[in-house]
Amino acid sequence: MPGTELVLFEEDYTTINEILATLVRETNSKFALLVDRSGQLISSQGDTENMDSLSFASLSAGNYAATSELAKILGQEEFSVLFHQGTNESIHLSIVAKRIILVVVFDNKTTLGLVRLRVKKAVEELSAIFNRIFQKVAERGAEAPSPLGDTFSSVAESEIDNLFKD
């Protein structure tokens, strides 16, 4: 379904948030985000009050896109899981239903093994929901505009420029 606008139904959105909240709680992670591959933030759970979630979402999608290009150079379709380890915090990214990125940020209060185990379960649950959503949209036959329009592109570029100003 690439190229079609993401449409969330209320019951699906509620279930998605429950899955994310459970993931954050069970892994003792700082927060989890769901991001469209175009960089649009879909949902977040956990402690995101002291950060710019929209910029984080855009940069996560850009990170995933760059790594996907590296995978293609190596002859892979894509890497379905990415992991970045920092001194104090780490980031785990997984693809959901070929179009959504699940981002989990955690610190040393938990382990990568636990995060990977719980993320695997969450990806399965979220994939089922998003595949159902994509099917509903397809059945309605609605041709939606590209989720990455000119306005979004310019706003995202501006936000990224603002992040890296001196």
What's this model's pTM, rounded to 2 decimal places?
A: 0.79
The listed CATH number (3.30.450.30, 3.40.30.10, 3.65.10.10, 2.20.25.10) that belongs to domain 10-161: 3.30.450.30
Q: Residue 38: how many CB atoms within 10 A of its CB?
A: 21
pLDDT tens per residue, range 113-158: 999 999 999 999 999 999 988 887 777 765 444 444 555 556 666 6
pLDDT tens per residue, range 45-67: 999 999 999 999 999 999 999 99
Mean predicted lDDT score pLDDT of the chain: 86
